[in-house]
């Protein structure tokens, strides 16, 4: 049985899957190690397309034999996390939402693109305009206007 063979874990089974269960990726110089089922967990995605094909030799490899993807290695961690559990978890005040959305589009992850898109439009429509005055602080002319209104009422 292949389970007893420790090398069987690293080699793909010849019957259905030419890929090993544990896959090493080099994404933009960052090395990621993940399981094959994670990479094919979103049918139709670019990684699904890459890692369900039968011709392993057609995929680019780096000098150490890892599968190479020429994309942003830092942002790929969020792509991989999403593929693991279909949830988007980003650090607070994450400054690269737009770039991550572009990566999600590249990797053909439409649900992740949707999760990222509303955040962009939400931020832009919330009135984060730095020129708006704080309602707690009256504008400089507010005291004078209040004084005129009070005087007219009297």
Total structural domains in the chain? 1
**Cα gap 41→84, rounded to integer Å:** 8
Distances (CA, A) of 109 to 23, 38, 70, 96: 20, 13, 17, 17
> Tokens 């020129």 map to which residue?
131
Check whether 133 has a pLDDT greater than 90: no
Whether residue 129 lies inside any domain: the answer is no
**pTM here?**
0.66
| Sequence-separated contacts (24+) of 11-18 with Cβ below 8 Å | 12/56, 18/54, 18/55, 18/56
Domain presence at residue 35: yes
* Interatomic CA distance for residues 24 and 30, integer angstroms: 10
Whether 149 is covered by a domain: the verdict is no
Higher pLDDT, 20 or 142: 20
Domain that holds residue 101: 22-116
Within-domain flag for 147: no
Q: Is residue 86 domain-resident?
A: yes
3-state SS assignment for residue 33: strand
Query: In this predicted model, what pLDDT tens digit does every residue of 100-127 receive, in sequence order?
Result: 999 999 999 999 999 998 544 455 555 4
CATH code of the domain covering residue 108: 3.30.710.10
The answer as to whether 110 is a domain residue is yes
90 in any annotated domain: yes
Query: Band of the pLDDT at 1, cuts 50, 70, 90?
Result: very low
Considering the domain boundaries, does residue 1 fall inside one? Answer: no
Segment 38-67, tens digit of pLDDT: 999 999 999 999 999 888 888 999 999 999
């Amino acid at each position: 049985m292949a389970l007893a063979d420790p090398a069987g874990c690293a080699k793909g089974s010849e019957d259905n899957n030419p890929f090993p269960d544990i896959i090493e990726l080099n994404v933009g110089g960052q090395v990621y190690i993940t399981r094959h089922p994670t990479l094919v967990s979103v049918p139709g995605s670019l990684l699904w397309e890459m890692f369900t094909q039968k011709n392993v030799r057609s995929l680019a490899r780096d000098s150490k034999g890892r599968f190479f993807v020429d994309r942003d290695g830092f942002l790929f961690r969020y792509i991989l996390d999403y593929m693991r559990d279909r949830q988007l978890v980003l650090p607070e005040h994450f400054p690269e939402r737009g770039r991550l959305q572009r990566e999600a589009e590249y990797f053909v992850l439409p649900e992740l693109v949707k999760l990222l898109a509303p955040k962009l439009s939400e931020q832009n429509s919330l009135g984060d305009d730095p020129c708006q005055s704080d309602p707690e602080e009256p504008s400089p002319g507010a005291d004078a206007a209040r004084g005129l209104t009070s005087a007219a009422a009297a």
